[in-house]
Amino acid sequence: MSVVQLTDEERSTWLSTLEGWEMAEGKDAIQRTFEFGDFIEAWGFMSRVAILAEKQDHHPEWFNVFNRVEITLTTHDADGLSLRDVHLAKAINAL
């Protein structure tokens, strides 16, 4: 899968299809925050994301506290956003 940075045009096209995701501040990355009823629900979600990520060989930067999960996606190999991030974000949204 491409590890080339998205062009400006690709970014705006893709971002408009990724519900809930927005550009991170000060970083060429996209992010989304998810909130759940409690830690067990948040953890269940994270477990599903973990397996998706490992299958895609593309891993999130993520933060959790209790029922909140903040996910940031960027592609270190591309030094910025790539299609890998788009694919993982789409898969996460589909959960």
The footprint of a second copy (CB under 8 A) covers: 39-40, 43, 47, 50, 53-54, 59-66
For the bound state, the minimum distance from the C-beta of residue 64 to a second copy, rounded and expressed in Å, comes to 6
Task: Name which of 39 and 87 has its Cβ closer to a second copy.
Answer: 39
Rounded to an integer, what distance in angstroms lies between the CA atom of residue 22 and that of residue 19?
Answer: 9
In sequence order, the 6+-apart residues with CB closer than 8 A to the CB of 12 are: none
CB nearer a second copy, residue 10 or residue 62:
62
Name the minimum Å distance from CB 45 to a second copy: 12
Least distance (Å) from a second copy to the CB of residue 53?
7
Burial of residue 58, with CB atoms counted within 10 A of its CB: 0-12 exposed, 13-18 middle, 19 or more buried: buried
Q: How far is Cα of residue 40 from the mean position of the Cα atoms in its chain?
A: 21
